[in-house]
A and B are shown apart, each in its own frame.
Chain A
Amino acid sequence: MSKDFRNGTELIQICNANSKKISEVMIEREMYLSGKTRDEVIEAMKDSLKTMKDAIEKGLTKDIKSVSGLIGGDAKKLKSRYETTKTVCGKQVNKAVASAMAVLEVNASMGLIVAAPTAGASGILPGAIITVGENFKLGEEEMIHGLFAAGAVGYIITKNATVSGAEGGCQAETGSAAAMAAAAIVEMLGGTPEEALHAASMAIKNILGMVCDPIAGLVEAPCMKRNAIGVANALISADMALAGIKSIIPFDEVVEAMYKVGRALPCSLKETAQGGLAATPTGIRIQKEIFEKIESDKTVTK
């Protein structure tokens, strides 16, 4: 049987025919394609997990300002709330959300992150996997497996649709990250491959159509908050799938629908800063201020 797969249906076939989890199938696919040993492949993912953990740690503890000065410090605010107060959503959800925001703040300050699948959506997967992993007292190995399962979902979306905001809007970017994270959590908590793809489908469906409209064209706002809602989306979708709730539309069709919706979005709503929040009076004013500030900073340093 082939070690490679092109879509969700083929992935599930391979999983079921060999009684293997998605993560295992993805690890074997990587070994097959790269010619590397299992240990080498696992070790490389371990390194990614460490970078993710470090970014969360940095964003939750250090004072961070983005390059433009527009964002920074919000992850810490949320952390201090869930650590000291009873919250609406509970500690775990808030911790996952704060972690996702932390990574995006680190990203916007030119810090080190792992694009997952992109830099603009890099908070969701770490926020979900690491928070759930710690909460359920799972080991590093299980989190690494979660990342491989997430990689399988991200690979299918990349191959059959897009994970780029410029091409498919934010639904393609943070939506894909949420789908990847949802599938990963389901696997980490013992769900079946089918359940993992149901979770991924639900995560995409929840934000189908979301536009990409960053203020001043920068990966800062609303990106950081969409990573926050993206991780919450992943957690909810995972819980629904683990409860036995199914996506009525199969995963491959959801991915195709997302791609078609993305294609149908006008250019002004695909990372061009010409529509949506970027084109509001406040968005336009901030854009002007940011570029004037950078311009004057440049003059000073010359």
Chain B
Amino acid sequence: MNNKIYSVFDIIGPKMIGPSSSHTAGAARIGRVARKISRDKIKKVSFYLHGSFASTYRGHGTDRALIAGVLGLQPNDENISRSMEIAKEQGMEYSFIETDLGDVHPNTVKIVLEYNDGKHSELVGSSIGGGSIKIIQINGLDVEFSAEYPTLVIRHIDRPGVIAEVTKIMSHHNINIASMNVFRQHKGEDAFMIIETDHVVSEKIVDEICGLKDKIMSVYMIEAL
């Protein structure tokens, strides 16, 4: 028996574009999270497909779903099937590369977003079944979150007091933290705070957290999928 709390709409749902909740709906969701961490107009997106994603992505429409997600479409948007055309209209290039991402879930993709200035962002996510996803890496740093709750992704300096300052802002605005995890690569370097909340965090609060200069590098708000 597992301990997850299931809503009836986890069972009768999601409402989605077929054919596969993991290969299509989950893929679109991972793409959406990638869009949320993009920091500029996306010039080109590359999808590095692993495992079952690599072997069956074309027949499952995983390719179109991923692009749709990066374009900001929801898993139930009927435009998913024409996402490649939409990407062309918007001048966003895309490519798919079959690869081996190592010891990860069979349905995993690494998404690399390139911008006009030559810089890029990266995200690795797995589609773990029934449309649920798990983001496992952002810009080379290991993380873990599901995006089932409104999620704040904060890149910050690994230094005493930063977490307290962020949570103080949250508490000041009466935002309840449902769960919180901190991930870092090396002591004293940069780290990610992943904060899942019960309510959407407003732009104003995001700005306030961004205002903690020289401690915070970037803040992304990912609304619940």
Q: Is B151 an interface residue (CB 8 A)?
A: no
Contact A159–B130 (Cβ < 8 Å)? no
Among candidates A45, A159, A166, A272, residue contacting B129 with C-beta atoms closer than 8 Å: A166
A6 to B81, CA, bound (A): 38
Nearest chain A residue, comparing its CB with the CB of B82? A110
Q: Is B188 an interface residue (CB 8 A)?
A: no
A249 to B44, CA, bound (A): 57
Task: Kindly provide the distance from the CB of B35 to the nearest chain A CB, expressed in whole angstroms.
Answer: 20
Among candidates A45, A110, A163, A290, residue contacting B19 with C-beta atoms closer than 8 Å: A110
Contact B129–A119 (Cβ < 8 Å)? no
Q: Which residues in B have their C-beta under 8 angstroms from that of A112?
A: 15-18, 76, 78
Q: Given A114-B12, A164-B130, are A159 and B20 neighbors across the interface (CB < 8 Å)?
A: no
Q: Given A110-B80, A115-B130, A159-B2, are A217 and B52 neighbors across the interface (CB < 8 Å)?
A: yes
Among candidates B1, B25, B61, residue contacting A160 with C-beta atoms closer than 8 Å: B1
Nearest chain A residue, comparing its CB with the CB of B22? A166
Q: Contact mask B1-18 → A, CB, 8 Å, 1/0?
A: 110111111111111111
Q: Which residues in B have their C-beta under 8 angstroms from that of A108?
A: 18-19
Q: Is A34 an interface residue (CB 8 A)?
A: yes
A165 to B136, CA, bound (A): 24
Interface size band for B: 35 or more
| Main secondary structure on A side of the interface with B | helix
Nearest chain A residue, comparing its CB with the CB of B6? A155
Q: Contact mask A150-162 → B, CB, 8 Å, 1/0?
A: 1110110011100
Q: Which residues in B have their C-beta under 8 angstroms from that of A45?
A: 8-9, 12
Q: Which residues in A have their C-beta under 8 angstroms from that of B9?
A: 30, 44-45, 48, 151
Q: Which residues in A have their C-beta under 8 angstroms from that of B55?
A: 217
Residue with the greatest number of chain A CB neighbours at <10 A, chosen from B8, B22, B76: B8
Contact B78–A111 (Cβ < 8 Å)? yes
Q: Is A235 an interface residue (CB 8 A)?
A: no
A117 to B55, CA, bound (A): 24
Contact B6–A159 (Cβ < 8 Å)? yes
Known: A114-B14, A120-B20. 6 other contacts (CB 8 A): A30-B9, A113-B17, A113-B18, A119-B18, A155-B6, A291-B59
A-B pairs, top 8 by smallest CB distance, nearest first, are A107-B18, A151-B8, A154-B11, A110-B81, A219-B19, A217-B56, A218-B59, A294-B58
18 A-B residue pairings within 8 Å (CB atoms): A26-B8, A34-B7, A51-B15, A106-B18, A107-B18, A110-B61, A113-B16, A119-B20, A119-B25, A120-B20, A151-B8, A151-B11, A158-B6, A158-B11, A164-B130, A166-B129, A218-B60, A220-B19
